[in-house]
Amino acid sequence: MPRVRTLAEELASKQREISVAEFFERNRQILGFDNPLRALLTTVKEGVDNALDACEEARVLPDVQVEIAKSGPERLQVSVSDNGPGILRREIPNVFGRLLYGSRFHANRQSRGQQGIGISAAVLYAGLTSARPARVISKVREEEAAHVLELLIDTQKNLPKVVSDDLLLWDRESGTRVELVLKAKYQRGRQSPFEYLRGTAIVNPHARLLLVEPDGTRITYERVSNDVPPVPKEVPPHPYGLELGELAFRLKASGSRTLSELLPKEFAGVSPRAASEILAKAGLNGRESPGSVHGDRLESLLGAMHAVRLLPPSAESLSPIGPVLIKRGLRNVLGEVRPEFYAPPVSRPPKVRAGFPFLVEVGLVYGGNLPSDQPVQLLRFANRVPLLFQQGACAITNAVQTLDWRRYGLDQKGGSGLPTGPGLLLVHVASTKLPFTSEAKEAVAEDPELDKELTLALQVAARHLRTHLSRRNRRAFAQEKFDIILKILPKLAAKASALVDRPVPDLTPVITKIMDVLNVETTQSTDPKTVRLATEITNYTPRARVLELFVELPPELLGRASFDPIPEGTDPELGRAWWTLPKLRPSAKTQVTVEFPSGTEVDASDASWFVAGIDEGHLLGAEPLPGDWDVRLPRAIIEAAEAGLTEPTPSGETEVDYDAAEASARVEDEE
Amino acid sequence: MPRVRTLAEELASKQREISVAEFFERNRQILGFDNPLRALLTTVKEGVDNALDACEEARVLPDVQVEIAKSGPERLQVSVSDNGPGILRREIPNVFGRLLYGSRFHANRQSRGQQGIGISAAVLYAGLTSARPARVISKVREEEAAHVLELLIDTQKNLPKVVSDDLLLWDRESGTRVELVLKAKYQRGRQSPFEYLRGTAIVNPHARLLLVEPDGTRITYERVSNDVPPVPKEVPPHPYGLELGELAFRLKASGSRTLSELLPKEFAGVSPRAASEILAKAGLNGRESPGSVHGDRLESLLGAMHAVRLLPPSAESLSPIGPVLIKRGLRNVLGEVRPEFYAPPVSRPPKVRAGFPFLVEVGLVYGGNLPSDQPVQLLRFANRVPLLFQQGACAITNAVQTLDWRRYGLDQKGGSGLPTGPGLLLVHVASTKLPFTSEAKEAVAEDPELDKELTLALQVAARHLRTHLSRRNRRAFAQEKFDIILKILPKLAAKASALVDRPVPDLTPVITKIMDVLNVETTQSTDPKTVRLATEITNYTPRARVLELFVELPPELLGRASFDPIPEGTDPELGRAWWTLPKLRPSAKTQVTVEFPSGTEVDASDASWFVAGIDEGHLLGAEPLPGDWDVRLPRAIIEAAEAGLTEPTPSGETEVDYDAAEASARVEDEE
């Protein structure tokens, strides 16, 4: 008689390995496939992310087409094609038909795809909901024809199942196209492929993107930059945030003979000198074989690695968008909104989180046709990918919501939550390893280091906004004052003169005395041959002024600009030019023009104007020269100062109140 | 000369498989290990969930100990032990040292662990942060000694690495203990092991839980039920929500010869008759071999399976807590709060989502010492596990926030968001497969079917609350009226009598005429031998009344109760007893007492009182007999009615206003 199975045996007999594909098939909500709308977006997103990553690795300007067509009730065909390097025939099945397979997971550098899950997940979902295989076309430069494979995923094994394999003559040198039929639903709106591609265009201004909607509508985002971003370099991990188990693993796996040799070689930010310091602090002599260090010595080593001051991680592994392109990307898609203000974009230096470098960038746009009675729009990006779902669960949102925007001039109920106003915030987090809250990569998880940087970057942008708002108020105030003066004074003068029977006096000196500002105003005009920025400087102060004017442009724009008058000097690297203006008597004006060849992507907000020789309280429409600019004062200014012509910062002058208020707010802020 | 590698080859050479352990080591935030506080909770949670699942499978009352002790700076030792069936030696390494390995993933029945990730993830995190192996002790009943294994996870291979293997004499028949040393932080509070065990005790009233905190404090939650919940049965998938790819897979994998044979056998809810209907609708004759159905025929079959009306899924695969134990569990942990009202808990029938049965339960508690100026406390549970993180990203929270609680008597700003008031809401979602937003299982993903059930269940509970609040108001109102009458009428009468020099009349008839209510009031008293509920019924109406009184108790309490007077009848299954009361003249009162042996867990809110023979508008402290109760009217009542003694619902009577308002609100609600 066979022995009866005990309970423990019974239970043990049910233990089984779970394939990662089975796991995700059942948990498709984790991958972003839990309803037809989200499934479509996730599919498009994974396809486009891969396309952009591939193009960047091949250093080509990406040309990505997304076509969405009806393919039955509740069913769409989605295809994404690119002009990337293509995929070798032998790798196609694994890349598209196997979860947790890829080239970017083990590389410590920024990329969109990092998990080796995305596109295979879309293939899995397509097979599950339409029972149709994915069709992949890919051609590499060195072969004549493209390979066309149809494949499914064997869920139980997590392995590709190729159902057809053919060749095709394809009219491009290299590239990849993937076609999927899946249960999905198309509609425009906040979480649509339309919105996703718009966001992608903002943070990838070097990409050309085409979307064909199911009704045949074609939407193209042209590239606004011809520079492929540099391919981020792989870097070793940084010791800050490293865990004990990881260190133990690295020591054991290392090929180095001694600790002294290993530390600078296999960790970022560790100079030979810092290595010595670490070893001394840990009570090690450095001649230890890495594999022999464990237990207490291992803990001391890690403690010392965390305690010693190390170089920050190199930015080489990251691919920030940069201030110039953030602004240009925003302008490219915000054309119809015509914002009144683009804050200078913020691009923070890299920091470390859990051994991985990361950085934060922020762009802020204000005014124009942006709705003023709604919360500001928040555009979240992670490694140049727009995040459209899970806004509420995202560390980026949390950082925006916990900042007190009322201090920066925006309405915010109770000092937390999204502020209200005609604003748009772009926040980009870039890292060699981003902590997403799930595999769908829709939200960034909370992290103290990340949160600190997010807050700092947001504060910088918010301060620019505050300056703008206060300047706008000041200008409006000055304009109002000016209008009143010009309307009332002549009448008063006429009446007074009539009464005493004397001629009406020249009012200019009185008007300038009352106004007491230097007004800088730029107007833009475009004709078939040129784009012209004309800046007029008018001296509404009661004194003659000898001033120095500075302009700062994106460096590549400076190279294409012609100036009138010719600047006294330029700094091509920083994109600056400067002039000593002719002496301006009260009420006198002068003009500086900057011209670009027609077709140049430029507008007035690209140029920042600065004036030296007058203090901030009397300056409208330009900024005082920042203290940290290393500019030799031109001779003319010095001479003029010696001749007592320019303003010697007279102590008797009345300061304007709103200015003081702003200054005190700034001090409070900088703490 | 070797050929230079092309770019495509270069890129292909970097493609690699990613081990699931590597993936989660890097993405530990996804598993709930992104900071020391959360890592501790997740570890405790995975340990306890496994312990409870194991005990239930073995049909033993769980006895689970969680011990947390300091083990270095930022480091804690966590151990969880249970009295479950134990794990066979050969399975221990896989269960604890391999991700995506387990017995519950492939079983279509409710369990806490479903992923085969949890405890291995804790072992992974412990190894990563402390470089210390997990220690597992396990003993099965049929062996003399326990096995003690120390193990780590080989991250690159996702396989266990056993570092020591020994035997131990253990003082329990069977059970498992796991000990981990990890980077963690202990503090009490909203997201602590303390809170987690409190929640676990509420929804697992059959478990005994012990928590030892790092400072040595011991907290015990005693079990309040001695019934092990039945082990949920595995069931085949239900066709509703099934996807095409899944159907194709099941047809291919099936051992059935024909479709007619397969449908009722391999799908839940499909009777042979429904199978015929499906086949007819799909244009199939039923004799097809399952493997031969694909393409259009497959789609027609699925369409028919979704369209034909099927039986609901059986509840056997689910393990709801049930109304009685929800109430008892809540009372067990809310002792110090002394709520004034426990709404009858709601336990909805099972529904289907994506082929998986699920159900929703809701408990609602109000008043007492619960804070009245804060949002109601929301306790979320999934498969009897408390959810403490990601409240904002959870479908449960969303359902609570989108209900308009103002209609049910709670404050709620703008009619959405968490309502404010002294309330506590328990929401339990049970399913054979829950859609969590991530592997950390901290929040349930949005789903239209789920959302519908959540809303329905919440509405039922909310209606109970509204009835309670309105009854409370009514009682307060009646009491106030009563007090005034008793104070003023005698004075008036005395004055009036003095004026006309006549004796003071008997005021009782006047008082009862003005009051016009039947008052039912229960008081509870406890002495060493008994717990007594005394219910007093006073006739403050101007007529004599012959009434029938009903009580409903949890059935197991009814069995232990002794009544005075002896009831006219009882229904042990439904927990009901009833009496025909002696005729009550105006102002007369009578009493019914229910006694339980001392130590019985019972209080006044366990008993619901109903009265027949008077209409709702005149009833205070009890409910009218629900219309759907199948109770034969006792002879006495009928006779009394015939004799014209009881109230014939006179048309001339004034209805009380607040009642009408409530009735109209109810109608609006029920639509």
Q: Which of A186, A172, A114 is nearest to A140 (CA)?
A: A172
* Span A356-371, average pLDDT: 93
Can you tell me the distance from the alpha carbon of B78 to that of B117, in angstroms, rounded to the nearest whole number?
18
- DSSP annotation of A214 reads T
Can you tell me the distance from the alpha carbon of A368 to that of A352, in angstroms, rounded to the nearest whole number?
38
Tell me the chain B residues in contact with residue A251 when contact means C-beta distances shorter than 8 Å. Answer: none
Write down the domain spans for chain B: 20-221, 244-312, 322-469, 506-670
* Span A585-605, average pLDDT: 85
With CB atoms and an 8 Å threshold, state whether B27 touches A115: yes
Four-point Cα dihedral A368, A371, A373, A376, nearest 10: -90
Q: CB distance from A294 to chain B under 8 Å?
A: yes
Four-point Cα dihedral B428, B433, B434, B436, nearest 10: 150
Closest Cα in chain B to A434: B27
What rounded mean pLDDT belongs to chain A? Answer: 86
* Span A338-361, average pLDDT: 90
Sequence-separated (6 or more) residues with CB below 8 Å from residue A398: A446, A451
Q: What pLDDT shows up at residue B668?
A: 37
What are the tens digits of pLDDT across the range A68-83?
999 988 999 999 999 9
With CB atoms and an 8 Å threshold, state whether A15 touches B91: yes
* Span A403-410, average pLDDT: 93
Can you tell me the distance from the alpha carbon of B667 to that of A178, in angstroms, rounded to the nearest whole number?
55
Distances (CA, A) of B390 to A47, B380, B442: 29, 11, 6
Q: What pLDDT shows up at residue A631?
A: 53
Structure tokens at B441: 């299982």
Distances (CA, A) of B141 to A8, B79, B81: 8, 21, 16
Q: Residue A581: CA atoms inside 13 Å, Cβ hemisphere, count?
A: 30
Which segments of A118-249 are extended strands (E)? 134-139, 146-154, 159-168, 175-183, 208-212, 218-221
Expressed in angstroms, the distance from the first to the final Cα of chain B is 84
With CB atoms and an 8 Å threshold, state whether B107 touches A22: no
Q: CB distance from A439 to chain B under 8 Å?
A: yes
Arch. (CATH architecture) of B244-312: Orthogonal Bundle (1.10)
Q: What pLDDT shows up at residue B662?
A: 36
Q: Residue B76: CA atoms inside 13 Å, Cβ hemisphere, count?
A: 24
What are the tens digits of pLDDT across the range B388-442?
988 888 999 999 999 999 999 999 887 778 999 999 999 999 999 999 998 989 9
* Span A384-413, average pLDDT: 92
Structure tokens at A596: 């670009």
Give which of B23, B57, B71 to mutate to test A binding, by max A Cβ within 10 Å: B23
* Span A230-243, average pLDDT: 88
* Span A435-456, average pLDDT: 93
Can you tell me the distance from the alpha carbon of B356 to that of A548, in angstroms, rounded to the nearest whole number?
75
Q: What pLDDT shows up at residue B643?
A: 55
Give me the residues paired with residue B181 across strands. B77
Q: Residue A456: CA atoms inside 13 Å, Cβ hemisphere, count?
A: 16
User: Which of A12, A34, A436 lies nearest to residue B91, judging by beta carbons?
Assistant: A12
* Span A524-535, average pLDDT: 87
Sequence-separated (6 or more) residues with CB below 8 Å from residue B500: none
Can you tell me the distance from the alpha carbon of A168 to that of B345, in angstroms, rounded to the nearest whole number?
65
Of the candidate ranges A143-152, A499-508, B574-583, the one whose mean pLDDT is the lowest:
A499-508
- A450 to chain B nearest CA, in Å? 13
Q: What pLDDT shows up at residue B648?
A: 40
Q: Which residues of chain B have pLDDT under 50?
A: 1, 633-638, 645-671
Q: Does domain A506-670 have CATH number 2.60.40.1170?
A: yes
Give me the residues paired with residue B610 across strands. B550, B623
Cis peptide before B133 (omega within 30 of 0): no
Tell me the chain B residues in contact with residue A57 when contact means C-beta distances shorter than 8 Å. Answer: 7, 11
With CB atoms and an 8 Å threshold, state whether B6 touches A103: no
With CB atoms and an 8 Å threshold, state whether A183 touches B19: no
- A100 to chain B nearest CA, in Å? 5
Q: CB distance from A107 to chain B under 8 Å?
A: yes
Cβ burial, residue B540 (10 Å; 0-12/13-18/19+): buried
- Backbone Cα Rg of chain A: 31
Q: What pLDDT shows up at residue A26?
A: 86
With CB atoms and an 8 Å threshold, state whether B390 touches A392: no
Within the 308-367 window of chain B, which residues sit less than 8 Å (CB to CB) from chain A?
none
Can you tell me the distance from the alpha carbon of A235 to that of A316, in angstroms, rounded to the nearest whole number?
8
Q: What pLDDT shows up at residue A459?
A: 94
Q: Does domain A20-221 have CATH number 3.30.565.10?
A: yes
Neighbours of A421 (CB within 10 A): 22
Can you tell me the distance from the alpha carbon of B12 to that of B4, in angstroms, rounded to the nearest whole number?
14
Tell me the chain B residues in contact with residue A115 when contact means C-beta distances shorter than 8 Å. Answer: 18, 23, 27
* Buried b / exposed e along B325-355 (16+ C-beta atoms within 10 A): bbbbbbbbbbeebebebbbbbbbbebbbbbb
Closest Cα in chain B to A248: B131
B2 against A329, higher pLDDT? A329
Share of chain A above pLDDT 70, in %: 93
Structure tokens at B490: 């005698």
What are the tens digits of pLDDT across the range A459-503?
999 998 998 888 788 777 777 777 777 777 788 788 888 888 888
User: Tokens 């369409």 — which residue?
Assistant: B303
Which segments of B514-583 are extended strands (E)? 517-526, 530-540, 548-552, 562-564, 569-571, 576-580
Q: CB distance from A100 to chain B under 8 Å?
A: yes
Q: B154-159 contacts: CB < 8 A, separation 24 or more? A: B154/B21, B155/A249, B155/B19, B155/B21, B155/B22, B155/B25, B155/B124, B156/B19, B156/B21, B156/B22, B157/B19, B157/B21, B158/B19, B158/B20, B158/B21, B158/B22, B158/B98, B158/B99, B158/B100, B159/B97, B159/B98
CATH number given to A322-469: 3.30.230.10
